A and B are shown apart, each in its own frame.
Chain A
Amino acid sequence: MKQRAQFQDAAKARRWARRLSVRVEKILAANPRADRDNIRHTLILLEQPPLERLQRSLIRGRATAIFRK
């Protein structure tokens, strides 16, 4: 039963990744000079709530600042 659920999750994840790739390619076709990773990361972030995006950005930004000190 657990294994079946995992298969379903994996299939769902693969479908999501395929949909994401299609959208990235469409945006790149319209913006050939854009960076693939920037587009992909933006699309992934847009699936999250705004405050979570800000929180992640601050955690990473402040951690980087600590390493630089």
Chain B
Amino acid sequence: MVVGLSAATLQGAPVVTQDVDLWFENLGEQKISRALQEVGAAYVPPSAINPPMLAGAGAELFDIVIRMDGLGTFADEIKKCVEIPLGRQKLKVLSLEQVLASKMAANRPKDKLTIPVLRDALAATRSVKRRAKKK
């Protein structure tokens, strides 16, 4: 599932990000290593000095997230995710409401900068959704 500011930007929030954060239920899944192999990348398990990482040219833009502040378990959050069409696939994306909740819970200086933007984006997207429902 795509999480963090990439998830927010996919849903229309006017924020910038440096990478795409991915939250997996199980990092040991075969499908993940196969997909990484296809793009010339690999999973680097966590060590004493490094968090779990993706390495290799095809994975430069991606980061792994193993937990999200202020949110439930992966199984809880995936039920509330939004699905964004991507070619023939549907990309699972953490909802804007939950991105905002996680940023508020993390409350790091960089999160504090994005909270008002995410809040306003949520107001705008809700208004657009209400308008679309009326039509």
Q: Which residues of A contact B (CB under 8 A)?
A: 23, 26-27, 30-31, 34-35, 38-39, 41-43, 45-46, 50-51, 53-54, 56-58, 60-62, 64-65
CA distance A50 to B9 in the complex (A): 8
Q: Which residue in B12, B86, B124 is a CB contact (below 8 Å) of A53?
A: B12
Secondary structure of the A contact surface, majority rule: helix
Q: Which residue in B9, B10, B14, B17 is a CB contact (below 8 Å) of A38?
A: B14
**B123/A27 in contact, CB under 8 A:** yes
Contacting residues, chain B, for A54 (C-beta < 8 A): 6, 9-10, 20
Contacting residues, chain A, for B119 (C-beta < 8 A): 34
Contacting residues, chain A, for B116 (C-beta < 8 A): 35, 38
**B14/A42 in contact, CB under 8 A:** yes
**A27/B124 in contact, CB under 8 A:** yes
B36 CB, nearest partner CB in chain A, Å: 19
B contacts with A, residue count (CB < 8 A): 27
**A26/B127 in contact, CB under 8 A:** yes
Q: Interface digits, B53-97 against A, CB 8 Å rule (1 contact, 0 not)?
A: 000000001000000000000000000000010100000000000
Which residue on chain A has the smallest CB distance to residue B18?
A: A61
B128 at the interface (CB under 8 A from A): yes
B121 at the interface (CB under 8 A from A): yes
Contacting residues, chain A, for B125 (C-beta < 8 A): 42, 46
**B18/A34 in contact, CB under 8 A:** no
CA distance A39 to B6 in the complex (A): 18
B49 at the interface (CB under 8 A from A): no
